Structure 1
Amino acid sequence: MAVSVSQLRGWNPVLLTGIAEDIARVNNMFDVRVHYVRRTVGETRPHWQGDTADAAEARALAEELASTHLIAAVDAYSAAFGTAAREIDAVRNSVLAVVDSALADGFSVLDDGRVLAPVSATGDAVVDLVLQSDFEQRARGIEAQLKPLLTNAADTDGTCAARLQQAVDTVRGLETTDSAADSYSPQVTAILDGHASLPDDPAALAEFWDQLTPADKDGLAAWDPTIGNRDGLPAVDKSRYNAQLLDTLTVDAKATLDAIEARHPDWMTDTNLPREIGAHTAEDAAALREYARWLDDRDAAEASLAGYQNVHTQLGRDGAPAFLLNIDDSGRGAMALNNPDTAQNIATYVPGTSTVLASIDRDMSRAENLLDAANMASPGPNSVVTWLNYTAPPDLHAATSERFADAGALRLDRFQDGLRAAHDGLPAHTTVIGHSYGSTVIGHAMRDGASLDVDDVVFVGSPGVGVAGAEELSFHGVDPSENATHVYATASVSDPGAWTGGVVPDAHGSNPVAPHFGATVFGSDPDTTQTSHINYFDRGNPGLDTIGAIIVGRGASA
């Protein structure tokens, strides 16, 4: 069955696009309100105890889960309209292009797709006979092209209608669905009721999670929206739940910024600013102090919002698929290129001083270069994680302190344990790459009795890793005497930041590229006039190629 030409002319895909946009807008508003309700309940809960409070919490949890399913279904509904609009517009344009071209050449097109040739009337019988034959032949050719297009248009219309109906049925089916809480396993019910806890150990959590149903997992995610940050969960689940958390954090960050700006709307337009020169009264001094606090608060809120927005952008970047492995309200995060759970080789890149989410695009570009270098060395499959899941020193002065490395070391250790626990199949070859202060974090995760469950570590432009020699670093299951084949280091001769180890007071131990340190050292100087502290991961740097070989287990001599 085919549609008619007049029917097809009457189609208006723009209306479908408008419907899709309207549904998406309303759905987003609903999502924001669900988040607001959940946050309100969460803020009330600490001040309300007892059976009634527990019942209210359970009801709010069930309602939020149901709302989450509804939001997802309506989102699919909106997407179905958008897809239908694009497909119908494409088939409509292809048909009308043929029809309008035929009409412009003098042919008549009937509603069912038949094409009538124009009549040749030159007055010369022989010429008219030849021309008419050509017209008739062209008419049959146009008709042969047009009729399948009309049939295809009808098929597309039917497919889109079925898809839309399926989306409608999915949304309607949620109206009569019993509470998801009724389908939770006993283990999950006990956790939601406060009678049990999720396993804390990454390996134990991975084993527990693997036994859960999708409803169980969604229920736990509604109970703990930050569940995607728990080490040991699969990357796919971590990314899905953390993407939802990212939306929440972005909304919260925008609300915080709006509230700060609303404190002094006149200052937003540079009016009524406190006097900064001349004599000041006590009131003037107080206003100046408030102005300074307000500027600091606004700068921090803008940076926080920019960070979350940048993560959103990176999730949608072209190239290898991105997985959001960590994100929190302290501005920390981790993102993988390709799924580490299915990768044969996994590298975790730890950046250094002044690293924040607002600049994660720079670090993701470096991770992309590392992934390309690994792929050149071996097809893998390979995965590279950009690990910003620690609070980095904000400046060089702060980078002389060990406290940032000590705190980050604990988080890095658990993260690597989580990668091991969640991995599918045979164990992957894992490498941790620390740039600048990031190398100090790695060193602290491997000293004083602590160890990392990784195969190799790479120190790049390091100011020191907190130890005097490679033998003081601990790998799981590796004799310290063999560390030289697992510890790699590189530093450009034009990088002043890499030559402070063991020289500058309060620096972080010996320089990893020093001969006495005992690491396998490799070069990273294509041009000493250009290579500096920030160019190690640039394309064309020979050190990048070497790191790619290390990532896939071929070592620095490959």
Structure 2
Amino acid sequence: MTTISHVRGCQPSTMLDYATALRASNSTFTDQVRRMDRAVDATMDKWQGEAAAAASARSLSESLVASHIDTAVTAVAEAHASHGAVLDSIRTALLAIVDLEAPGVGMSVSDDGTVTAPSVPLAGDIVVSMLLQHRLDAQVDALQVRIKALLVQFGEGEMQAAQAIRAAQQQLDSTGSPGAATISPVVSDIISGTTSLPSDPAQLHELWSTLSPADKDALFAHDNYIGNRDGLPVVDRDHYNRIKLDDELARAEACDPSVSDRLVDLQAVRDTIDKDPNRMLMLLDTQSGAQTHAAVAVGNPDTADHVSITTPGLNTTVGGAIGAMTDEGEQMKLTAEKQLDDTVDHVGETVSTIAWIGYDAPQLDKDDYFSEESLKGAIQVAQPWNAQAAAPDLSQFYEGIAASNYDGDPHLTAVGHSYGSFTTGLALQETPEGIVDDVMVYGSPGLGTGHDFVDSSLDKLNIAPGHAYEMTAHDDPVAHMNRFGWSPGYMSEFTHLDTDATTTADGVARQGATGHSEYSRSGDNGELRTSGYNTAVVVAGLADVPGQLVIGDSAVKTGGMDLLDGLMDLTR
């Protein structure tokens, strides 16, 4: 049985420090390997013949082994980081109860988690004394349940960490074994074109789990965009996408015409993922669209209990928005996890947020609304084409998250803003029921569900009743457009949430959001606005906890108030 003294003596934060140091050393190693590869490539341009072919084959073999080491070390670091974060969170929550909360009410806690209350003297009014004792005993029971639950969680977490670290270490130990760089027949057939990788995320994940590091490296050499495949473990997606990012960024800086116009986007992605080691590059694509596509996760979606995917709208570009969206996602993660830690039975649960710019969002030139770009963007934002093109990719991205998550069924929330909410709506209509648990949209011109007078939106969106939420801020004209079906603020099946300034259930004074762009932005006090807080509660899966959400009005009332205010302004 796990004891309090054992938990107190553990220092899970050192696992995070170790992971950071290991990643830094591994980065130095991979940089040296890439320099070697570039030197070999330069030599091969001038050297031909059998000897050159043999040298090239040897170089490929060494590169595969080096990549195997890189993958294995990354897995070791990830095992330490992810499990260390979970254990540290549980330890912090436990010691806060044992060292502060229990003593603060005069109670003592034994090493096995048993809580003892002080005895109330039977003096004066005996009935009052007995009532006080009864109340103390009830507090004892509540504290003891929480403490012992955390002790069990810590013990289970240690076992899971040991298993994960042992498995990652065995993978690293096999690096130098004979045949470590041998490619399996399955992968050989894929590379030769005889077969292909499964397109279904669940099937791909199952196949990927059977491959050796050498197999995975060979598939990356065959397809440098392998990291974009939905269903792959996020650690592998991040690993291979970072290699591809380094390659494309180097070529863009060298004015390679195939990527030179994507330099700003690539630099923004690099700056975003370098800002925090807890960020993971899940998508990088400079080739398939008119714009660069990218997705960055804060935290590991494969180990998180709760995952959100946010799709933005008009005027979003990777170069201009991936950093801000990821920062907003980080604030969302912190706020959601705080709500979880403050809620009984949810202490220690983790959240991962993903900024998904995986499509060509319509663009308007803010400085020249009559430019050719703005005219094209105006047409695009008024039409379903861009969203229709993006919906299959976003739907498959949802399925990939579910397929690669260790639990197999994370609590998944689809979040959409503006034209991105329309894209989200179309994607949900293509996503099997049970993959996405909640949907949160704001500033939405419609979800592609039509203009029926009788709501049938949730059936079309494959979302269970009571799990669809929307926000319509004052002075947001887009949320009243009803352009792509009814805007969610006009749908009775959606829970309408407030965006006005208020003090939320966690005691934080939050600023309101007005207009079309403030929903996800933090206020001047550094805290999420009411709209961001509401989103965090939904993302954390706590929407059914009484008093957590700040309920608001439908767009019919909100829009009517805005219109009335506007008319009054005209008469003044």
**2:457 counterpart letter in structure 1:** E
Which residue does the alignment assign to 1:536? 519
Matched residue of 1:340: which SS?
Answer: coil
Q: What is the match of residue 447 of structure 2? A: 465
Tell me, what secondary structure is at the counterpart of 2:270?
Answer: helix
The one-letter amino acid paired with 1:314 is: T
TM-score (norm 2): 0.58
Distance 1:236 1:518, change over 3 A: same
Counterparts of residues 379-398 of structure 1 (less than 5 Å): 379=341, 380-395=349-364, 397=378, 398=380
Partner residue of 1:337 out of 285, 294, 298: 298
- CA distance 1:34–1:547, change in 2 (3 Å): farther
Deviation at 1:64, TM superposition (A): 3.6
Secondary structure in structure 2 of the residue aligned to 1:434 = strand
* Pair 1:545-2:502 in alignment: no
Question: Is the 1:413–1:452 Cα contact (8 Å) retained in structure 2?
Answer: no
What is aligned with 2:384?
A: 402
Instruction: Tell me the amino acid that sits aligned with residue 519 of structure 2.
Output: Y
- For residues 445-495 of structure 1, give each alpha carbon's deviation from its aligned partner in whole angstroms, at most 9, with x where no partner exists: 2348976820011111112212247623447875xxx53x12110011122
Aligned residue in 1 for 2:155: none
Change over 3 Å in CA distance of 1:247–1:486 after alignment to 2: same
TM-score (structure 1 length as normaliser): 0.60
Structure 1: distance between partners of 2:43 and 2:285: 20
Amino acid in structure 1 at the alignment position of 2:360 = T
Counterpart in the other structure of 1:85: none
Q: Deviations over 1:506-550 (max 9, x none)?
A: x22212112x45211101122999632221112341121111111
| Residue 243 of structure 2 is aligned to residue 244 of structure 1 | yes
Report deviation, 1:205.
0.5
CA distance in 2, matches of 1:323, 1:524: 30
Alignment of 1:191-270 (within 5 A): 191-256=190-255
Identify which of 304, 311, 328 aligns with 1:366.
Answer: 328
| AA at the equivalent of 1:247 | D
Q: Which has the higher helix share?
A: 1
Structure 2 residue corresponding to 1:499, chosen from 444, 469, 480: 480
Paired residue total: 376
Q: Residue 500 and residue 207 in structure 1: after superposition, are their counterparts in 2 closer, same or farther (change >3 A)?
A: same
How far apart in 2 are the matches of 1:75 and 1:471? 47
- What do the CA deviations read for 1:50-92 (whole angstroms, capped 9, x no partner)? xx9xxx999978744533545898999xxxxxxxxxxxxxxxx
- CA 1:34–1:353 in 2, change beyond 3 Å: closer, same or farther? farther
CA distance in 2, matches of 1:21, 1:327: 19
- Structure 2: stretches of 5+ with no match in the other structure: 1-25, 73-171, 342-348, 365-376, 503-510, 549-572
* 1:375 corresponds to: 337
Q: From 55, 63, 67, give the equivalent of 1:67.
A: 63
Quick check: 1:355–1:394 contact (8 Å CA) kept in 2? yes
Find the residue that maps to 1:510 and give its secondary structure. coil
CA contact (8 A) 2:332 2:536 kept: yes
Q: 1:440 touches 1:463 (CA, 8 Å); kept in 2?
A: yes
Mapped contact 1:431–1:455 kept (Cα < 8 A)? yes
| Residue 496 of structure 1, CA deviation | 2.4
Q: Larger Cα Rg: Structure 1 or Structure 2?
A: 1
Q: Give the direction of change, closer, same or farther, for the CA distance of 1:429–1:450 in structure 2 (3 Å limit).
A: closer
Contact 2:329/2:353, CA 8 A, preserved across alignment: yes
Q: Does 1:415 align with 2:409?
A: no
Amino acid at match of 2:494: A
Q: Which residue of 1 aligns with 2:283?
A: 326
How far did residue 235 of structure 1 move?
A: 0.4
Match 1:519 to one of 488, 494, 498: 494
CA distance, structure 1, for counterparts of residue 30 and residue 542 of structure 2 = 49
Amino acid at match of 1:356: T
Change (3 A) 1:195 1:540: closer
* Aligned equivalents of 2:208, 2:54: Cα separation in 1: 21
> What pairs up with 1:414-433 in 2 under 5 angstroms?
414-425=396-407, 427-433=409-415
Superposed displacement of residue 22, structure 1: 12
In the aligned structure 2, how far is the partner of 1:497 from the partner of 1:74? 47
Q: How big is the shift at 1:178? A: 7.9
Deviation per CA, 1:135-174: give whole Å up to 9, x if none.
Answer: xxxxxxxxxxxxxxxxxxxxxxxxxxxxxxxxxxx9xxx9
Question: Match for 2:284: what amino acid?
Answer: I
SS at match of 1:489: strand
Amino acid at match of 1:439: S
For 1:92-111, list aligned pairs within 5 A: none
User: Partners in 1 of 2:282 and 2:389 — Cα distance?
Assistant: 19
Q: 1:305 to 1:424 in 2, by over 3 A?
A: same
Q: Does the Cα contact within 8 Å between 1:180 and 1:215 map onto a contact in 2?
A: yes
Q: Deviations over 1:415-454 (max 9, x none)?
A: 0111111110252110010011110101112348976820
Tell me the equivalent position of 2:418.
Answer: 436
- Equivalent-residue separation in structure 2 for 1:454 and 1:65 (angstroms): 42
* Matched residue type, 2:353: V
Decide which moves more: 443-452 or 21-30.
21-30
Q: For the structure 1 residues 196 and 522, does the alpha-carbon distance in structure 2 shift closer, same or farther, using more than 3 Å as the test?
A: same
Aligned residue type for 1:532: G
Q: How big is the shift at 1:226?
A: 0.9
In structure 1, what residue type is equivalent to 2:359?
Y
Q: 1:29 to 1:224 in 2, by over 3 A?
A: same
Q: 1 CA distance for matches of 2:32 and 2:307?
A: 41
Secondary structure class of the residue paired with 1:425: coil
Can you list the C-alpha shifts for 1:298-357, whole angstroms capped at 9, x where unaligned? xx944x101111111111113x70111110123101111100001100011111112111
Provide the rounded CA distance (Å) in 1 between the counterparts of 2:58 and 2:496. Answer: 56
How does 1:54-203 map onto structure 2 within 5 Å?
63-64=59-60, 66-67=62-63, 69-70=65-66, 183-203=182-202
Alignment of 1:284-299 (within 5 A): none
* Distance change >3 Å, CA 521–CA 248, structure 1 → 2: same
Query: For the residues of structure 2 that align with 1:180 and 1:215, how far apart are their CA atoms?
Result: 7
- Gaps of at least 5 residues in structure 1 are 1-19, 41-51, 77-169, 261-299, 502-506
1:545, 1:365 → 2: CA distance? 15
Structure 2 CA distance for partners of 1:357 and 1:22, relative to 1, 3 Å: closer
**What is the distance in 2 between the residues matched to 1:37 and 1:328?**
29
Shift of 1:202: 0.6
Q: Distance in 2 between the 1:237 and 1:210 partners?
A: 11
**Structure 1 counterpart of 2:467, from 483, 486, 504:** 486
Relative distance call for 1:255 and 1:68 in structure 2 (3 A) is farther
Aligned AA for 1:336? Answer: A
* Aligned counterpart in structure 2 of residue 555 of structure 1, from 523, 543, 566: 543
Work out the CA distance in 1 between the residues paired with 2:444 and 2:211: 43
Measured in 2, the distance between the counterparts of 1:248 and 1:509 equals: 43
Q: Is the 8 A contact 2:273 2:279 kept in 1?
A: yes
Instruction: Check conservation: 2:301, 2:405, Cα contact below 8 A.
Output: yes
Please give the secondary structure, in 2, of the residue aligned with 1:184.
coil
Q: In structure 2, do the counterparts of structure 1 residues 64 and 555 end up closer, same or farther at CA, with 3 Å as the change threshold?
A: same
Residue 414 of structure 1: how far off its partner (Å): 0.4
Q: Secondary structure at the match of 2:489?
A: coil
SS at match of 2:308: strand
Shift of the 59–411 alpha-carbon distance from structure 1 to 2, 3 Å rule, reads farther
SS at match of 2:286: coil
